[in-house]
Copies of this chain bind each other. A is one copy, B any other.
Amino acid sequence: MCQLLGMNCNVPTDICFSFEGFRARGGKTDEHADGWGIGFFEEQGSRIFLDDKPSFESPVADLVRNYPIRSLNAIAHIRKATHGNVCLKNTHPFQRELWGSYWIFAHNGKLGDFNPTFQGIFQPVGDTDSEKALCYTLEKLQQRFGNTRPILSKLYAALLDISNEIATHGIYNFLFSDGCIFFARCSTSLHYIIREAPFAQAHLIDEDVTVDFKEVTTPNDRVAIVATEPLTDNEQWTEIKPGELILFKDGQPLYS
């Protein structure tokens, strides 16, 4: 299976520290070497860096590590292929536009026998069960709410329904964001941590790197990091429960 990393903040923040530990799992400290990707939102705009090389040795990953992109929402994925070949069209995260916003999605898990018939507005380009799940989700949201974005509570309730339906097909951990709000859904394994004042030091599990967040933050900053497995060994991560869908906004859970 794959691994997920996501970030939701109240001020634009770079994900360099977490990404450094995460990328090591793409071929160095773990086996997720079948490509990787990361999507950043900068206001409503987005940019996604993808590579079908292992993240540990990818020149694109070097760029992401060395060029701090400050973002309120970011989603990264390292892949161990289960459905679909190793190629760009099967590399997460995937992006579509709905309601005049970009939506970025990455999935960890495996959905057996998930072969919905699409109405056609959103159609998968690649072969993964994950991209099917994104297209199915967006189609269902569009069918339910038409061409106008609903209020948050209704969107949350709809996404919970759709996710539970898809999850009947298998393992369905995902991260999903439009650059303003950030959803994390756990099926088997997903953890998060909220970093806020008083900030402390954090030390990566996968690389011998420590950062002192006191030195790079202001007292009002708040950052939620979500990952398949905890990335640091000296902080307390919260396990998301199987079946739970959390909506993060401004670096904290809003609905769960």
Interface residues in A, total, Cβ within 8 A: 39
Is A202 interfacial (CB-CB < 8 Å)? no
Q: Scoring A residues 48 to 82 as 1 if CB is less than 8 Å from chain B, else 0, what string do you get?
A: 11111000000110010011000000000000000
Of the stretches A108-116, A121-129, A207-215, A232-240, the one at the interface is A121-129
Residues of chain B with a CB closer than 8 A to A59's CB: 63, 66-67
Tell which of B45, B49, B102, B122 touches A47, judged by Cβ atoms closer than 8 Å.
B49
Known A48-B48, A50-B47; contact A100-B88, beta-carbon cutoff 8 A: no
Is A97 interfacial (CB-CB < 8 Å)? yes
Is A96 interfacial (CB-CB < 8 Å)? yes
B88 and A47 form a contact (CB under 8 A) = yes
> Closest 10 CB pairs between A and B?
A120-B147, A45-B88, A45-B89, A100-B123, A42-B88, A47-B50, A44-B89, A59-B67, A63-B63, A44-B125
Q: Which residues of A are in contact with B by a Cβ distance under 8 Å? A: 42-52, 59-60, 63, 66-67, 87-91, 95-97, 99-102, 119-126, 146-148
- Give me 5 A-to-B residue pairs in the complex whose CB atoms sit less than 8 angstroms apart, sorted by A's number: A42-B88, A45-B90, A47-B48, A48-B48, A121-B121
